[in-house]
């Protein structure tokens, strides 16, 4: 087993796998370039292909002895028009255009829309956005099987292009039959996180949580205006959120997305929920070996805002420069984190603790680190909740999470500043302190003579019982004849 030191970078990088990154060799290159977690996009590819990629990721764990995180991203309900007799129709501004339940191929005057939920939700005056917002229709009249519109922004509309309904909440579940099959597959293959697309209501998360049956962690993708309006409710029910700027930027004006991104990141951080910023971060690197300066600034802004993770989509899934894209994102993040004002900017967002012992100790931990000059925070955890609380405070020292559970170690791969290690459980206070010092040394997070902070719960092995904070000085002989397992 090869050992590589923990990332010095605190923000995590999530890389999407696809045709450009589906070989074990390329996945390994992405990992070594800086990818901390991998996204399996269930919208594309067969289960067999995804299973092969998951096996390659798990092989990295054995090779490098480090838990590696897998996120399975469900497609969600995709609304699409039907087909056209000639494969495409030209819609002109000011012309009437009808969407109906008739499955006959369409033309420049009408097309099939096989989604009864839309007919029930629309009102006169609302908009329909087609083909990622390239075409805009304004609803005039709605019946149970017919939507009469006027074309406000025209263009070519081809077969099965997507439909967005930004002005109303469409009463349809966030999970389709395909999503249920994909979720079952993801759980069987051991994915650590499940991302739910097009979340609109708390009920969407409740359904997914029930189907997960207590397995894994649930991430809500915020990509609908309705989700933004109920953000706090959604944050209460999920384990993390993703700022999915692609579809959010279709249903809202582009200039509305940056302040919403900051709002979502800030809200998630206040509630102690990990937050991922995603979509088009280094878009030009799909075809070019270097990004634009604007893209570099975009990534840097997400890091300065305190996102737990930043994500690459098509750049690594289908681009010509997947390894270079990860390396570039890694370099940008390290450059930002080297800024002397970086931590000051992170703490512009106030994260008030809940009135619990665990939250009080997590908040105190960050202050103790600065006061005594500690080089690492070592957290003993079963569920990961203690580590999440400490990460929320964005301390200056790295966080070493020690857990006997592999699933917990893997899930923590999306937490800011956390290096997770699966290790044997402990049975006494003295054993805890000794093990904390040894593991911090072994993983390169401290040196002999330096101080570390130790957080744990007594009695040991009880989830959510954090009640001990201890400052300890590391000795030079800590590693003699020890096998932590």
Which residues have a catalytic role annotated? 39, 80, 221, 279
Tell me which residue has tokens 């925070």: 377
The answer to whether 14 and 48 are in contact (CB under 8 A) is no
- SS3 percent helix, strand, coil of the chain, rounded to 5, is 40, 25, 40
Tell me the pairing of strands 451-457 and 466-473: antiparallel
CA angle 189, 191, 192 (to 5 degrees): 150
Instruction: Show Cβ contacts of residue 397 under 8 Å, excluding neighbours closer than 6 positions.
Output: 369, 374, 375, 376, 377, 453
Sheet of 466-473, strands arranged across: 418-422, 399-403, 376-380, 451-457, 466-473
Full DSSP string of 406-444: HHHHHHGGGSTTEEEEE-----SHHHHHHHHHHHHHHTT
Coil, strand or helix at 153: strand
CA angle 270, 275, 279 (to 5 degrees): 140
Residue 221, φ and ψ in degrees, nearest 5: -85, 120
Cα 229 to Cα 127, 165, 325, 483, distances in angstroms = 18, 15, 33, 51
Cα-to-chain-centroid distance, residue 136 = 30
Sheet of 110-112, strands arranged across: 110-112, 96-100, 146-153, 135-142, 127-130, 163-164
Tell me which residue has tokens 């079952």: 184
Element (H, E) at 262: helix 257-270
The answer to whether 474 and 452 are in contact (CB under 8 A) is yes
| Pairwise CA distance, residues 123 & 134, whole Å | 21
| Pairwise CA distance, residues 207 & 289, whole Å | 42
Element (H, E) at 473: strand 466-473
Instruction: Show Cβ contacts of residue 278 under 8 Å, excluding neighbours closer than 6 positions.
Output: 14, 242, 243, 244, 245, 246, 310, 311, 313
Two tokens, residue 434? 């000794």
What sign for the dihedral angle of Cα 113, 118, 123, 125? negative
């Amino acid at each position: 087993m090869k050992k590589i030191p923990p990332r010095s970078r605190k923000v995590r990088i999530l890389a999407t796998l696809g045709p450009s990154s589906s070989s074990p060799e390329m996945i390994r290159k992405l990992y070594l370039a800086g990818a901390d977690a991998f996204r399996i996009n269930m919208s594309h590819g067969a289960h067999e292909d995804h299973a092969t990629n998951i096996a390659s990721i798990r092989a990295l764990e054995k090779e490098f002895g480090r838990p590696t995180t897998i996120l399975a991203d469900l497609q969600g309900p995709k609304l699409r028009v039907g087909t056209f007799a000639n494969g495409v129709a030209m819609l002109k501004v000011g012309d009437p255009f009808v969407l109906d339940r008739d499955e006959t191929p369409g033309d420049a005057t009408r097309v099939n829309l096989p989604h009864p939920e839309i007919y029930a939700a629309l009102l006169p005056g609302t908009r329909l956005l087609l083909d990622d917002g390239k075409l805009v229709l304004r609803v005039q009249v709605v019946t149970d099987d017919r939507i009469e519109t006027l074309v406000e922004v025209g263009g070519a509309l081809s077969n099965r292009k997507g439909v967005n309904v930004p002005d109303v909440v469409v009463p349809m579940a966030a999970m389709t039959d395909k999503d249920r099959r994909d979720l079952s597959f993801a759980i069987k293959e051991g994915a650590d996180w499940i991302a739910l697309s097009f979340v609109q209501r708390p009920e969407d998360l409740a359904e997914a949580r029930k189907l997960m049956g207590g397995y894994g962690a649930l991430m809500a993708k915020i990509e609908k205006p309705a989700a933004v309006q109920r953000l706090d409710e959604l944050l209460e029910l999920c384990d993390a959120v993703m700022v999915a700027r692609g579809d959010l930027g279709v249903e809202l004006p582009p200039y509305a997305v940056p302040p919403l991104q900051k709002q979502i990141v800030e809200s998630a951080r206040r509630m102690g929920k990990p937050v991922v910023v995603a979509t088009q971060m280094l878009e030009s690197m799909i075809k070019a070996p270097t990004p634009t300066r604007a893209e570099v600034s975009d990534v840097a802004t997400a890091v300065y805002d305190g996102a737990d993770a930043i994500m690459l989509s098509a750049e690594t899934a289908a681009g010509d420069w997947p390894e270079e894209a990860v390396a570039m994102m890694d370099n940008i993040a390290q450059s930002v984190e080297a800024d002397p004002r970086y931590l000051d900017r992170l703490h512009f967002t106030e994260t008030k603790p809940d009135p619990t012992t665990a939250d009080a100790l997590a908040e105190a931990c960050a202050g103790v680190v600065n006061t005594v000059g500690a080089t690492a925070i070592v957290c003993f955890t079963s569920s990961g909740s203690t580590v999440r609380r400490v990460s929320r405070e964005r301390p200056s020292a790295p966080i070493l999470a020690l857990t006997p559970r592999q699933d917990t170690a893997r899930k923590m791969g999306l937490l800011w500043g956390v290096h997770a290690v699966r290790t044997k459980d402990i049975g006494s206070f003295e054993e805890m302190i000794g093990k904390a010092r040894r593991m911090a040394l072994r993983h390169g997070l401290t040196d002999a003579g330096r101080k570390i902070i130790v957080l744990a719960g007594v009695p040991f092995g009880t989830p959510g019982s954090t009640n001990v904070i201890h400052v300890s000085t590391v000795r030079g002989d800590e590693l003699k004849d020890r096998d932590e397992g």
